[in-house]
Chain A
Amino acid sequence: MNGGLTGMKKRKQSMKGKFKRKDWQFATLTSLLIATLVTFLCWAILKEPPGEDLTAEALAPLFVQSGVTSPVTAILLNFRGYDTLLEVMVLFLAGLGIWSQATVDPTNPLVFSSPATHPTKPNFHGPGPELILATLVRILIPLMVLVAGYLTWAGGFQAGGAFQGGALLGGAGILLILAEPQRISTIPPALIRFGIVLGPAIFLLVGVSCFGYGGNFLQYPQPGAGSWLLLIEFGAAISIGITLTTLFVGGRPDPKRLKGTDQP
């Protein structure tokens, strides 16, 4: 075992030495490849005549049918709803992966909960949040949640939408955890799980229930498609926000520590 390891190590080192000697060849090859790619891209862009039949004006009648007036949201959630569903699922899976890979100490979520590597490492701010940060957070968080809700709702007729609102919500969550890391231990993990699942579940349920209205998957019933889209958007925004915060925390709250430290 030991001999095998050493052999591997030696082979790795010799490969490393080789790589260093051939560094300039590697660099030349890479830059040649990139130059070729850029040339082809420029050629493709210059060759393609500007499309005239796909302007926003020509598509305006379609956007009216979609239930929302913002062309971006109409395409994202109605015409290309399947793509957006997959995007939401990708984020969901990322959150699921991180949630199942690692645990964090809920009383101190900014470090991993493995006691071997971090015996007594304090968080950024010592025992409690600093006064200025705590006050700022108290004022800022409700405002951020409000603006996130507005952005999500505004996606129907102007710039905004689920991803933007969700990102703002995630920013609010990250700020909250940075300011008061112990706060996460007061949130029941079941609620976090529910919040992560909510958006994808609503999206899927709406997509499937379209069969009931005689449509295809994600083919919303024609009058009132707007309210379906709004429902999907709010669910997705909440889930995106919570998932992004979970990604930042980097793991699920450790249940053992959660029981032991109800009162930090």
Chain B
Amino acid sequence: MILILFDFVLIITLPLLGWAVLATEDIFKAVVLFVSFGLLMSLAWVRLNAPDVALAEAAIGAGVTGALFLSALNKLERSVKHERRINRDEEKEAINEREI
């Protein structure tokens, strides 16, 4: 019974998290949401009796990919707090226009 409840929580949470990852404007927030999505996804794999995939998902999908995204974000110098991707792009476009 409690496992079925757990499944329902997973079924509801995973699409919501996926939507949040795609919809959020703050890339840092999106990366954090992506990592939590990966962790919940690995729980879903465990519930589907696929421990191998769950291990790979937790290690690669959540851990390494999250670290890769954060490292890329750091190298793009966009990891400043409260900075929005859209604002940043518009700012850059404005600078480009002024240069031209």
Contact = CB atoms under 8 A, between A and B. Distances in A.
Are A and B associated in one complex? Answer: yes
Interface of A: 2, 5-6, 9, 72, 110-112, 151, 159-161, 163-164, 167-168, 170-171, 174, 244, 247-250
B88 to A, nearest CB: 16
Contacts of A5: 100
Interface residues of B, number: 18
Closest 6 CB pairs of A and B: A167-B59, A159-B51, A164-B55, A167-B60, A72-B52, A159-B52
B63 interface: yes
Q: Tell me what chain A mostly uses at the interface: helix, strand, loop, or mixed.
A: helix
Interface string B55-97: 1100110011001100110110000000000000000000011
Contacts, number: 53
26 contacts: A5-B100, A9-B96, A110-B71, A110-B74, A111-B74, A111-B75, A112-B75, A159-B51, A159-B52, A159-B55, A160-B55, A161-B52, A164-B59, A167-B55, A167-B60, A167-B63, A167-B64, A168-B59, A170-B64, A171-B59, A174-B64, A174-B67, A247-B64, A249-B71, A250-B71, A250-B75
Contacts of A72: 52
Contacts of A111: 74-75
B75 A163 contact: no
Contacts of A164: 52, 55-56, 59
Interface of B: 51-52, 54-56, 59-60, 63-64, 67-68, 71-72, 74-75, 96-97, 100
Nearest to B76: A112
B46 to A, nearest CB: 10
Contacts of B55: 151, 159-160, 164, 167
B71 A2 contact: no
A160 B56 CA distance: 9
A181 to B, nearest CB: 11
A160 B52 contact: yes
Contacts of A110: 71, 74
Nearest to A178: B67
A171 B54 CA distance: 16
Given A171-B67, A248-B68, A249-B71, 14 more contacts: A5-B100, A9-B96, A110-B71, A112-B75, A164-B59, A167-B55, A167-B56, A170-B59, A171-B63, A244-B60, A247-B64, A247-B68, A248-B64, A248-B67
A248 B67 CA distance: 7
Contacts of B97: 9
B12 to A, nearest CB: 17
A163 B56 contact: yes
Nearest to B46: A159
Nearest to A123: B74
A159 B54 CA distance: 9
Contacts of A160: 52, 55
A9 B74 CA distance: 29
